[in-house]
Structure 1
Amino acid sequence: MRLHAPLGWFPTAFGLVLHAALATADLIDNGKVVTLGDITYYAGGIPVSTLHGVNGQIVTGLLDIGADLLPLTVIHTNSSHFSTVELNSIVSTFLDSDDVFHTEFLESVYLAYDGSKTPSVDTQSCAPTLDGYGTELFMVGPTFKTSMFSGVTKVSFSKELPSGPYFMSPSTGDIFRAYRLYPDDYLAFISGAVSDEDDGFLALPAVTENVMAKSIAVPSRLYYTASADKPLAGLRLGVKDIYHVKGIKTSGGNRAYYYFYGTQNATAPSIQGIIDQGAVSVGKMGTVQFANGDSPTADWVDLHCPFNPRGDGYQSPSGSSSGPGAGMGAYSWLDIAVGSDTGGSMRGPSGSQGLYGNRPSTGAISMDHVIPLSPELDTAGVFARSASLWSTAIQAWYQNFSSNYTTYPKSIYYSGAAAGWSDVSETTPEAYALLDTFISQLETFLSVNRTNVNLTQHWIDTHAPEAPSDVNEMLNTTYAILTSVDQYALLGAPFFSDYAAANQGRTPFINPGPLARWRWGQANSDNSTYAAALANMTTFRTWWSTTGFGRPDPDSCSEGLYVYPWSTGTTDYRNRYFLATNHPPLGFSDWAVAGYAGAGEVIVPLGEAPYNSTVTGKVEYLPVTMAIQAARGCDFVLARLVSELEEKGILRPVGTGSRLYSN
């Protein structure tokens, strides 16, 4: 939009203006919500630089957005003679690669030169192009010679900024990052977060109107450039709300915990590690209370369960990393998310939303400053929509695994037969075809034939003489004891004590599921039963890595791959009621192997299976996924494997929304 020049302003060839007087409007400390080109933005309250004009003058005016803010685009060039050809090319690239930038940000432009010569601007070619973009103010950096230019203003920044869209305050010269606000329609987030421009974050002080939903602010992708040191630069990251993040409150899915402990003063080392690799946190995401295993909707008393976008939109997102899984299935503007896995909390949502997601080898990364379930089993994983991005993320994040193996595992141990999936009658024809086709393609890729295995029988045949003969009986209560006892001792008891001391002896509310688990642990375990549970897990771990299906190999890291179906497109409606739970999960099956073995496992989406929705009355589709496990410490082998399977077309990236694929 062109502006008329008030008295005392200098018009230029581009309709540009500069004023010597300072405006008196004050900035709101916590930023502003503005609408530009029908898109809602948050202009952060913390400036990232300050713009100074010639002789200390500061830009003023041009306030046609109705606030003390002016859209600004920063452009970097290596060309010593900047022309309209390069200008149009850069704008086109910005539009193609960024969802925050659009042409309304070209109302003011700052051109920075990164070369070593004395730069110039081809004003004759640029003027009509800038005029077409509606540019009112065109500025160049201090290395440009402006005496030969008509309509170009020479300015300086207190701190050089990367290319991209910004907002500028004409009254102060302060420059702020531009964040696009997206609605959290699927209730995946607990709170949005923006950088405090130091080493922490601020809860997003901005909301746009929506039903129950929060706004999430995402920065421009143009601010970041991936490098060897920061391979995840600019990737928008969601964080499960059991990880502490400096400047943000942690809820763990519990309102009392959120308000009682307040803002955290340190970031979990695991989250700091992925941020150090370049990822940009945009908020905290929903979790089953204290990372347990509640079902929607009645078990979620304190908070509302996130919505799974797949199928009819009323299937369970699984848990406990419910928010990260739902968000990754719903929002194309979210690139990766961090969850946790103790007994399936990464893998369950990966299966329900059809994502790439992993439980790493135990000890892959620090779990300090994280709400614990059981330190013996707790791990941190990554969700992504493509194998290549998931592979890149975990190889950047986990620091203790080797990538020097030159061959792939020599065996495929397929547990699908033992689970009944070898019979098409046990699942839908579509799901069976996807599972069987993938195993056949994996056989071809690795040049090996599958071996159908029965873990229970293999234990009977090969277990140590002193070990129990029935592995299912040996491990029946292991998970229940470890998680219920550990979490009550490390979280429940201290929380009750702290809360009571500050609230005249009162007890905080705990959802029925976690509370029942804690009570079960107190009633059914003592030092001897806990020690026995640990010993049984150790017995299994030793057997798995020596006689079982998780043996190491000097050439391929893992002698074989343990593969089994994870989700088969079956429904799990969120509008059902269940009998009240009174104990933690009991029993033993494939889901528990990775945890007890301490091994890495990844869920990969294979496709979709149709079902008749009782919600929509139409045929809808749900994901079919497979679990692939390698020996402990061989996580990078899995990363390389799934990435190459995607390159070969055996695996595919998935999209967002009700269907995995757009075609």
Structure 2
Amino acid sequence: MYSISLTSHHPNGPYVVSVDSKANSINFTPVYGLHEDVYESFMSGAIPSASAQDSFLTLQVSIPGTRMPAIIVPSKIASAVTRDAVGPLAGLRFAVKDIFHVKGLKTSGGSRAYYEVYGPQNYTTQTVEKLLAGGAQLIGKTRTIAFALGAPNNGAEIDYLDPWNSRGDGYQTTGGSSSGTGSAVTAYDWVDFAIGSDTGGSVRFPSRFGGLYGYKPTHGTFNLTGILVAIAEQDTPGFMTRSPSIFTKLGRLWADDTPLEDVADVPMPSNLLLYADEVLVQPEAKAMIDDFFAQVSTALNMTTSSINVTETWLESGPSQGESVSSYMAYVYSDQNSIQFYEKIGLELNELYKAYNNGSHFPADPMVNASWYDAQNATTIARLPHSVRKRELFEEWWSTNVLKASNATCSESIFAHSLHIPPATEKVTYSPPNVASYYWHGVFVNYAGIPEIVVPIGQIRYWSPYTLRHEWQPVTVAFAAAKGCDLKLFELVEKLEVAGLVKEVLPGKVAYYTDEVW
């Protein structure tokens, strides 16, 4: 038995203690667990640096007999007994999409060339800093589509292959450029939440395919410094988790010291505004979603109305009768291509040339498509018009669809679903192209408004891969007027109390079934 008097500060354990043979020195090593990354969600693991404050070290660990590198994960024991002192997120472990800078770690942006020419970062981006200050523990960086330029597409990413989605038959897409973030939270019980980014759906779509709680904030709320740009006027950080209580806790912590707090105490909107344009082709999903919205209205004593956005646009939009899909074509791709080219690509190319005897940087097909699209004379000439169209869309949306309110921040809670049938991304080839079209859900990014994804259940589908029925998550989405993010978290909190939402499982199914896996 040893009695130890510490001359330096050590946080509460647990520790592995090693004593030299003469008992002259004692070393303390924090306890970690090792977990194999079987779904290839991570770029690398990370541990706090002992030599630099608020800095991290990249850590790759291999377990004998396993195929994939393992992620080193800290114990929850210490934070469980010191939660008040450590912070509201004590005991929670999280990962970060590898377009976010973290002090001491390199950022790849999903690109081998970018990883090669840039060294470890000397600062941590604001939203990640908030989580660390709240007591959460960073365990690594997750994979992403190169420079967030697209969505997973049949392994078309060459530099770093797609992560896998553990749900259902295991062959469903992860749904967006925050692919590793969605994959990690969906698959692993040792990841409590993870950070992604949303420019055109890249937090909300992985949340849809994983059956997760996902948050896309009001644009402009959070500092984007230290996050690789996609479209600066649409980029937002965001997060995903399996737990509604963790979800609301994260939302409130991120809102601290931002304008979002200004409306924290106003009443929640009392009208549920249903999106009438949506067509759900799976009857089971439609019935579940319709029933859920009815239960929300009843449980929270909300009135219900609906809006056909397509028709409203034709009646009042700035396009003078042109459809929204036609009018907004090229808006996303023009901004995305040229901002990548100007803000990332040009400097990357010069550095790569300098280090590699004049070679142009190698890139995934989507990056090449964006690089050349940005130099196309038609794209360059069209860009000012595309920027103006995005601005006009935002003005139109806030005037005609989801209006602000002095009494309740947002006149309504806009409700719809991002649900689609299971697809065959891993076998059905689709050539990579810039996003020169308008899709369901991108209206949230053009309008700059907050939106959340909420899982509500699961339905069965026939898999062409496993040749049996599998389970697919079903989710809904709620949006509010700009700056009303906390009303959405309040909504989730009320739905959890009412028993309408609950924590989902990691792994193959989102909810318990009679089957044993």
Same fold (TM over 0.5): yes
Aligned runs of 1:237-276 on 2, under 5 Å? 237-276=94-133
Distance in 1, Cα, partners of 2:78 & 2:222: 28
Matched with 2:383 is 530
- Asked if 2 retains the 8 angstrom alpha-carbon contact of 1:418 and 1:452, the reply is no
Amino acid across the alignment from 1:201: F
Distance in 1, Cα, partners of 2:198 & 2:393: 19
Call closer, same or farther: CA 1:518–1:414 in 2, change over 3 Å: farther
Matched with 2:398 is 545
Amino acid across the alignment from 1:410: S
Decide which of 279, 298, 302 is 1:420's aligned counterpart: 279
- Are positions 1:345 and 2:197 aligned together? no
Matched with 1:484 is 337
Q: Deviations along 1:335-358, whole A, 9 cap, x unmatched?
A: 110000000100110001000011
- Asked if 1 retains the 8 angstrom alpha-carbon contact of 2:153 and 2:430, the reply is no
Amino acid across the alignment from 1:633: G
Task: Quote how far apart the aligned CAs of 1:442 are.
Answer: 1.8
Matched with 2:285 is 431
Task: Quote how far apart the aligned CAs of 1:616 are.
Answer: 1.6
Q: Deviations along 1:41-93, whole A, 9 cap, x unmatched?
A: xxxxxxxxxxxxxxxxxxxxxxxxxxxxxxxxxxxxxxxxxxxxxxxxxxxxx
Decide which of 67, 73, 83 is 1:226's aligned counterpart: 83
- Are positions 1:298 and 2:151 aligned together? no
- Are positions 1:181 and 2:34 aligned together? yes
Decide which of 165, 169, 176 is 1:319's aligned counterpart: 176
- Asked if 2 retains the 8 angstrom alpha-carbon contact of 1:549 and 1:561, the reply is no
Distance in 1, Cα, partners of 2:238 & 2:442: 16
Matched with 1:35 is none
Task: Quote how far apart the aligned CAs of 1:333 are.
Answer: 1.0
Q: Deviations along 1:134-185, whole A, 9 cap, x unmatched?
A: xxx4xxxxxxxxxxxxxxx432122354443211221231211111111111
Structure-1-length-normalised TM-score: 0.73
Distance in 2, Cα, partners of 1:342 & 1:328: 20
Task: Quote how far apart the aligned CAs of 1:259 are.
Answer: 1.9
- Are positions 1:572 and 2:423 aligned together? yes
Matched with 1:156 is 5
- Asked if 1 retains the 8 angstrom alpha-carbon contact of 2:264 and 2:487, the reply is no
Task: Quote how far apart the aligned CAs of 1:633 are.
Answer: 0.6
Matched with 2:411 is 559
Query: What secondary structure sits across from 2:374 in the alignment?
Result: helix
Matched with 1:59 is none
Query: What secondary structure sits across from 1:519 in the alignment?
Result: helix
Query: What secondary structure sits across from 1:156 in the alignment?
Result: coil
Amino acid across the alignment from 1:413: L
- Asked if 2 retains the 8 angstrom alpha-carbon contact of 1:549 and 1:560, the reply is no
Q: Deviations along 1:258-288, whole A, 9 cap, x unmatched?
A: 1221322222222122211211100000111
- Asked if 2 retains the 8 angstrom alpha-carbon contact of 1:387 and 1:642, the reply is yes
Q: Deviations along 1:373-431, whole A, 9 cap, x unmatched?
A: 1111110001111222111102102331124333221322211x32223xxxx22x321
Call closer, same or farther: CA 1:211–1:522 in 2, change over 3 Å: farther
Distance in 1, Cα, partners of 2:85 & 2:214: 24
Decide which of 317, 335, 341 is 2:192's aligned counterpart: 335
Distance in 2, Cα, partners of 1:204 & 1:555: 50
Call closer, same or farther: CA 1:395–1:509 in 2, change over 3 Å: same
Q: Deviations along 1:307-342, whole A, 9 cap, x unmatched?
A: 101001121111211111011011111111000000
- Are positions 1:629 and 2:479 aligned together? yes
Task: Quote how far apart the aligned CAs of 1:586 are.
Answer: 2.6
Distance in 2, Cα, partners of 1:610 & 1:449: 31
Task: Quote how far apart the aligned CAs of 1:444 are.
Answer: 1.1
Call closer, same or farther: CA 1:492–1:446 in 2, change over 3 Å: same
- Are positions 1:410 and 2:265 aligned together? no
| Bigger RCO (CA 8 Å, 6+ sep) | 2
Amino acid across the alignment from 2:304: R
Decide which of 68, 78, 86 is 1:213's aligned counterpart: 68
Matched with 1:660 is 510
- Are positions 1:511 and 2:364 aligned together? yes
Amino acid across the alignment from 2:278: A
- Asked if 1 retains the 8 angstrom alpha-carbon contact of 2:46 and 2:141, the reply is yes
Call closer, same or farther: CA 1:210–1:644 in 2, change over 3 Å: farther
**Aligned-residue identity in percent:** 33
- Are positions 1:203 and 2:58 aligned together? yes
Q: Deviations along 1:494-528, whole A, 9 cap, x unmatched?
A: 11111112222101111001211232232155555
Distance in 2, Cα, partners of 1:594 & 1:433: 25
Matched with 2:440 is 590
Call closer, same or farther: CA 1:524–1:630 in 2, change over 3 Å: farther
Distance in 2, Cα, partners of 1:221 & 1:228: 14
Distance in 1, Cα, partners of 2:426 & 2:64: 26
Distance in 2, Cα, partners of 1:525 & 1:600: 32
Aligned residues between the structures = 502
Matched with 2:14 is 165
Query: What secondary structure sits across from 1:380 in the alignment?
Result: strand
Task: Quote how far apart the aligned CAs of 1:599 are.
Answer: 0.2
Matched with 1:496 is 349
Query: What secondary structure sits across from 1:419 in the alignment?
Result: coil
Distance in 1, Cα, partners of 2:84 & 2:501: 26
Matched with 1:190 is 43
CA RMSD of aligned residues (A): 1.9
Q: Deviations along 1:81-118, whole A, 9 cap, x unmatched?
A: xxxxxxxxxxxxxxxxxxxxxxxxxxxxxxxxxxxxxx
Query: What secondary structure sits across from 1:396 in the alignment?
Result: helix
Structure-2-length-normalised TM-score: 0.93
Show structure 2 runs of 5+ residues with no match.
none
Amino acid across the alignment from 2:28: I
Call closer, same or farther: CA 1:586–1:642 in 2, change over 3 Å: same
Task: Quote how far apart the aligned CAs of 1:467 are.
Answer: 5.9
Call closer, same or farther: CA 1:223–1:236 in 2, change over 3 Å: same
Call closer, same or farther: CA 1:169–1:205 in 2, change over 3 Å: farther
Aligned runs of 1:368-447 on 2, under 5 Å? 368-399=225-256, 400=258, 401-402=260-261, 403-415=263-275, 417-421=276-280, 426-427=281-282, 429-447=283-301
- Asked if 2 retains the 8 angstrom alpha-carbon contact of 1:162 and 1:222, the reply is no
Query: What secondary structure sits across from 2:273 in the alignment?
Result: strand
Matched with 1:456 is 310
- Asked if 1 retains the 8 angstrom alpha-carbon contact of 2:97 and 2:144, the reply is yes
- Asked if 2 retains the 8 angstrom alpha-carbon contact of 1:298 and 1:577, the reply is no
Call closer, same or farther: CA 1:209–1:253 in 2, change over 3 Å: farther
Which of these two proteins has the greater Rg computed from alpha carbons?
A: 1
Matched with 2:224 is 367
